[in-house]
């Protein structure tokens, strides 16, 4: 089995001091590691990113919005329960990761913790879903708009566990273009795009189009098994509109480049194309594509991304673009240079010319 197919080959040591606890202000002040063809890289900032792009380029933005998906509740026995609401399941239920889950039984009612003056509310456990602590829950109104209102009233923003500091401004864990509620985590590369930076990009002739990929639990669950050739990922809800498909086609026809802002945009584009013989089509449904070394892009040309967790599917995805050894080398360079890692951290820009030839899009 080759090293590229071994999970242990995607490990690296990350000091806790390198994990960003708070975002920089303004958003575009984040540092940017620009990967160059060959072995080099350039240290700059997100504020300089427009100068690295071309008129006619198309940015693909994930417009998902993070729900206040963390709920605290009590069992009838008085025991505390924490729930992370994940996604709708069927017409009347939602999936939620429940902790502790071992003793939670089907049919049990959980009383949501409420602030003084709020009406008490209970949700019912309908059953198990898989074997990783996920349960089916019945809420008072399962419709998405009603659920967002419910979570805004009773829930908390689900910051990743490696962020110990409280988020003083909850909008900093949303992109400036977030409009479609449904995610349990932010598409973090997009957090760097301030409104000012987006205006500069537009003025430079760089267009944008939106997709929706609601980031789910599968993005963060530890990968299981050493043999990555057997890897299967949890599917995520995706929507790509006819307008975005048209924008991608026109960009390609006019010689422009399709650039994904974040791994979620990449997974949406490539996952939907893989379902349609390599051609991007309008789509609404689930995608569970695993992108790892050996994958050939069909739609995307370049990628803006953050620095990711060891042994994660996101690390595999970026390795597919520039190679595993080079990526791990660049991570060590970034650590030595004081880059900040993970959700509130700095960014990496992989232009099309830095993508390994074997991974470059074969589409005209």
- The DSSP string of 141-180 is --SHHHHHHHHHHH-B----TT--S--S-GGGGS-TT--E
Among candidates 183, 191, 247, 250, which has minimal Cα distance to 212? Answer: 183
Q: What are all long-range contacts of 288-292, with beta carbons under 8 Å and residues at least 24 apart?
A: 288/218, 288/232, 288/233, 288/234, 288/235, 288/236, 289/233, 290/231, 290/232, 290/233, 290/316, 291/266, 291/267, 291/316, 291/317, 291/320, 292/4, 292/228, 292/231, 292/316, 292/317, 292/319, 292/320
* Residue 169 phi, psi dihedral angles, 5° rounding: -125, 105
Write down the pLDDT at residue 227: 84
Write down the pLDDT at residue 261: 98
Q: Which has the higher per-residue pLDDT, 2 or 294?
A: 294
Alpha-carbon torsion, ordered 183, 189, 190, 192, to 10 deg: 130
Write down the pLDDT at residue 213: 97
* Range with lowest mean pLDDT among 35-49, 113-127, 151-165, 223-237: 223-237
Among candidates 154, 127, 160, 3, which has minimal Cα distance to 73? Answer: 154
Write down the pLDDT at residue 363: 67
Write down the pLDDT at residue 222: 67
Here the tokens at position 275 are 């379902």
Write down the pLDDT at residue 144: 85
* Predicted confidence (pLDDT) at residue 103 exceeds the cutoff of 90: no
CA distance 183 to 249: 28
Write down the pLDDT at residue 219: 63
- Write down the mean pLDDT value for the chain: 92
pLDDT tens across 290-303, in order?
A: 899 999 999 999 99
Among candidates 26, 348, 342, 16, which has minimal Cα distance to 159? Answer: 342
Write down the pLDDT at residue 364: 61
* Predicted confidence (pLDDT) at residue 11 exceeds the cutoff of 80: yes
CA distance 214 to 236: 6
pLDDT tens across 123-178, in order?
A: 999 998 876 788 999 999 889 889 999 999 999 999 888 888 777 688 999 999 99
Pick the CATH number of 70-154 from 3.50.50.60, 3.30.420.10, 2.40.10.240, 2.60.120.200: 2.40.10.240
pLDDT tens across 305-337, in order?
A: 999 999 999 999 999 999 999 999 999 999 999
Percentage of the chain modeled with pLDDT above 90: 76
CA distance 214 to 58: 21
Write down the pLDDT at residue 218: 67
Q: What 3-state DSSP class applies to 66?
A: strand
Per-domain boundaries in the chain: 3-66+168-359, 70-154
* Predicted confidence (pLDDT) at residue 216 exceeds the cutoff of 90: no
* Predicted confidence (pLDDT) at residue 233 exceeds the cutoff of 90: no
Here the tokens at position 42 are 């350039």
- Contact yes or no for 39/326 (Cβ under 8 A): yes
- Report the alpha-carbon angle 329-297-234, nearest 5: 85
pTM comes to 0.94
CATH topology of domain 3-66+168-359: QueA-like (3.40.1780)
pLDDT tens across 42-87, in order?
A: 999 999 999 999 999 999 999 999 999 999 999 988 889 999 999 8
Here the tokens at position 340 are 């900040």
Write down the pLDDT at residue 2: 84
Percentage of the chain modeled with pLDDT above 70: 97
Q: Which has the higher per-residue pLDDT, 132 or 107?
A: 107
Write down the pLDDT at residue 84: 93
């Amino acid at each position: 089995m080759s090293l590229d197919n071994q999970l242990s080959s995607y490990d690296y040591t990350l000091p806790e001091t390198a994990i960003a606890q708070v975002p920089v202000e303004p958003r575009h002040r984040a540092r940017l590691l620009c990967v160059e063809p060959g072995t080099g890289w350039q240290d700059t900032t997100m504020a300089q990113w427009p100068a690295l792009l071309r008129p006619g380029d198309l940015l693909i933005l994930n417009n998902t919005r993070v729900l206040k998906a963390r709920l605290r509740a009590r069992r009838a026995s008085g025991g505390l329960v924490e729930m992370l609401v994940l996604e709708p399941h069927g017409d009347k239920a939602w999936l939620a990761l429940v902790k502790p889950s071992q003793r939670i039984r089907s049919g049990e009612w959980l009383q949501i913790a409420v602030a003084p003056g709020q009406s008490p509310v209970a949700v019912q456990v309908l059953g198990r879903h898989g074997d990783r602590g996920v349960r089916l829950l019945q809420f008072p109104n399962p419709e998405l708009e009603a659920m967002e209102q419910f979570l805004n009233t009773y829930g908390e923003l689900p910051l990743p566990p490696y962020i110990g500091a409280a988020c003083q401004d909850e909008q900093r864990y949303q992109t400036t273009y977030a409009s479609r509620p449904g995610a349990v985590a932010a598409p973090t590369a997009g957090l760097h795009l301030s409104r000012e930076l987006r205006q500069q990009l537009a003025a430079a002739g760089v267009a944008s189009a939106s997709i929706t990929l609601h980031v789910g639990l599968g993005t963060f669950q530890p990968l299981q098994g050493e043999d990555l050739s057997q890897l299967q990922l949890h599917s995520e809800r995706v929507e790509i509109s006819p307008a975005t498909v048209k924008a991608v086609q026109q960009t390609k026809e006019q010689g422009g480049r399709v650039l994904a802002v974040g791994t979620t945009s990449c997974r949406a584009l490539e996952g939907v194309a893989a379902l349609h013989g390599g051609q991007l089509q309008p789509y609404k449904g689930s995608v569970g594509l695993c992108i790892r070394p050996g994958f050939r892009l069909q739609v995307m040309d370049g990628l803006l991304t953050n620095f990711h967790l060891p042994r994660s599917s996101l690390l595999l995805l970026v390795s597919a673009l520039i190679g595993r050894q080079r990526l791990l080398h660049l991570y060590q360079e970034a650590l030595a240079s004081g880059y900040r890692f993970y959700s509130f951290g700095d960014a990496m820009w992989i232009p099309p010319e830095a993508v390994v030839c074997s991974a470059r899009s074969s589409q005209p």
